[in-house]
Chain A
Amino acid sequence: MSPTSAPSSRRTRNRALRSPLARFLVRRIVTALLLAVGITLVTFVLTNLVPGDPVSANLGQRALGDPAIVAQWRADHGLDRPLPQQYLMHLEGLLHGDLGTSQQSHRPVLDDLAESVPATLELAGAAILVSLILGVGFGVIAALRRDRLSDHVLRVLSLIGISVPTFWLALVAFYVFFFRLQVTPGSGRIDPGMTPPPQVTGLYTVDALLSGRWDVFSSAVGHLAAPALVLALYTIGLLTRFTRSAVLEVLGQDYVRAARAKGLPGRVVLFRYVLRPALVPVITVAGLAFGSLLSGTVLVEAVFAWPGVGQYAYKSATTLDLPAIMGVGLVVGVVYLVINLVVDVLYGVIDPRVRVS
């Protein structure tokens, strides 16, 4: 504990690691990495347990009749080796960024994912952003204006948001806003005929901004709006309800009254004493909801013809394209992992009790 005459760089590093928050973060990240290895094992085992033979799914009738061709195909794809060895080959490939070759598109799975993952991330990210802003905002307003008109209206709306099935809403939104009212552009990520911005992040909105293409940006935002809102509606409703009840619970806490008794300004009481503790349960729910939001992308992508992971996963699954399925599984697993890591870290940042004890 006492300051010594050790070199200052070492001292600061030690001090950084001694801080409970830093130790907490390191622990969480190490756990996440171990889980990532676990995910590769699970995706590998699951894809190999699926009933159905990738050979018959990929070769034509005539080729299937020829044992030599079948054996050759199995050897080419490493299917003739024992499973543990296949897994090790798979892991080794992963380390080199090689996710195998899609048996359907005959392109590296990594290249396929590099196109579809950003599309889905852009869609899901926009939905998450909108849900957080609107869901938490509405929830706080409803709690602070409890039992007044705005509270009742928000509660009914959030109930609708939770109850409406996403696929139905997607169809209705597409029909009403595109076919009938023509206020939203049609399917896809940008207007047909427009060239996508040069790829940096793969998110069209961001890339368009980076390259200064305002026309592409507005087109991308326009195309993003309807599917993202459809996807977000459920989480907006969910977060509104959870935020409302969390804020109401904290408002009744003694320490909020104590903060008022200290004469702190209203906004300090609201942000420091009400919202900060209320965010803990909200973050838990948000983490879970964003996981389920990802599964919603499959349906929304299908309706809005959004070239994302959802569509890719569906195509791969129906053709038993094992490398592609494993790639998608890995991506989805890692996204869940990242969401959980972010949730855990936020717990630690917001509530010191998590990291101190």
Chain B
Amino acid sequence: MTAESGTAALSIEGLRLSIGGHDVLHGVDLSLEAGRVHGLAGESGSGKTMTGLAVLGLLPHGSRVSGRIAFGGRDLLGMPARELNQVRGAKIAMVFQDPATSLHPMLTVERQLTEHMGHHLGVGRKEARERAAGLLAKVRIPGPEEALKRYPHQFSGGMRQRIAIAVALACEPEVLIADEPTTALDVTVQAGILRLLRGLCDDLGLAVLLVTHDLGVMSAVADEVSVMKDGLVVETGPRGQVLREPRHPYTRSLLDALPVPPGENSP
């Protein structure tokens, strides 16, 4: 799990995607490293989310993809469905935008935290339950034992997103794709979720792809930043460099659109 910094945990090379004959991605290159948060910025419709979905093979019907998504020496794009299903949730996990809709409303938190443990790790009910309680503690849900018995609608938005993150971490993945994980939350809650992601990334050596349209979010946690426009990565590099000395005019226009420029003193 503690891969050396510098080796790519997951790399996307020349990813092209068309949905129903309409070109969405025109050759996306991205590289994620263990223990690093890679921010993927860009406006709506630039293809950020689709890039994330492509990694797990969750693209909508009528999608045609080409290129290469290398993970553990294999190409995820050519992988048979059965094998890909063993990667999903186990090695590469995903957190979605809106925790109000990404958790099953009719299943207990325990069920949603443990059901994939059984499939991926083969752990028994009792052990899975203990692990689930541990996970909830790790994402700082108060009273984890009680929380396991409850349903998603009994939690606030921020708490739900923490639960969704716990679900994603349940099988100790190496890569976490977070698709706008704070967009649907109150500003006051956002910082907590971002700190949590940052902490998990550092503690567990996760490679995180943080998809967001919010450069403020980006400046708070990302190590690397890539900027997408019209299905292409137009700029990529360390956070400080991209946000302070943008080379691409599009990045500059995004930065100019911010009410307060991202400062040096961001956490």
Contact = CB atoms under 8 A, between A and B. Distances in A.
A292 interface: no
Contact of A263 (B88, B104, B107): B88
A21 to B, nearest CB: 13
B106 A353 contact: yes
B151 A356 contact: yes
A23 interface: no
Nearest to B90: A263
B135 to A, nearest CB: 14
A260 B119 contact: no
Interface in B185-223: none
Interface residues of B, number: 30
Interface string A263-282: 11100100011001100000
Contacts of B153: 353, 357
A263 B106 contact: no
A270 to B, nearest CB: 13
A282 to B, nearest CB: 14
B107 A260 contact: no
A261 to B, nearest CB: 4
Contact of A257 (B86, B96, B108): B96
B143 to A, nearest CB: 13
A254 interface: yes
Contacts of B58: 257, 260-261
Interface in A234-273: 253-255, 257-265, 268, 272-273
B105 A353 contact: yes
Contacts of B116: 262-264
B115 A263 contact: no
Contacts of B164: 258
Interface residues of A, number: 23
A92 interface: no
B103 interface: yes
Contacts of A254: 96-98, 101-102
B93 interface: yes
Contacts of B56: 260-261
A263 B85 contact: yes
A273 B90 contact: no
Contacts of B86: 263
Contact of A265 (B85, B102, B104, B105): B85
Contacts of B107: 272
Contacts of A268: 115, 119
Nearest to B164: A258
Contacts of A350: 106
B89 interface: yes
A277 B103 CA distance: 12
Given A277-B106, A350-B106, A258 B88 contact: no
B89 A255 contact: no
Given A257-B96, A261-B56, A352 B106 contact: yes
A263 B119 contact: yes
A262 B102 contact: no
Residue from B97, B106, B116 with most neighbouring chain A CB atoms (10 Å): B106
**Most chain A CB atoms below 10 A, which of B87, B90, B97, B116:** B116
B102 A258 contact: yes
Contacts of B88: 260-263
Nearest to A356: B151
Contacts of B108: 352
Given A253-B101, A350-B106, A263 B96 contact: no
A272 B116 CA distance: 13
Contacts of A255: 101-105
B108 to A, nearest CB: 8
Nearest to B167: A262
Given A352-B151, A353-B151, A262 B101 contact: no
Contacts of B167: 258, 262
Nearest to B100: A254
The list of the 5 closest CB pairs from A to B, nearest first, reads A263-B88, A263-B89, A262-B89, A254-B101, A261-B94
Interface of A: 253-255, 257-265, 268, 272-273, 276-277, 350-353, 356-357
13 contacts: A254-B97, A254-B102, A260-B88, A261-B89, A261-B94, A263-B85, A265-B119, A268-B115, A268-B119, A277-B105, A352-B108, A353-B105, A356-B154
Given A258-B102, A277-B106, 4 more contacts: A261-B93, A262-B115, A263-B85, A352-B106
Interface of B: 56, 58, 85-90, 93-94, 96-98, 101-108, 115-116, 119-120, 151, 153-154, 164, 167
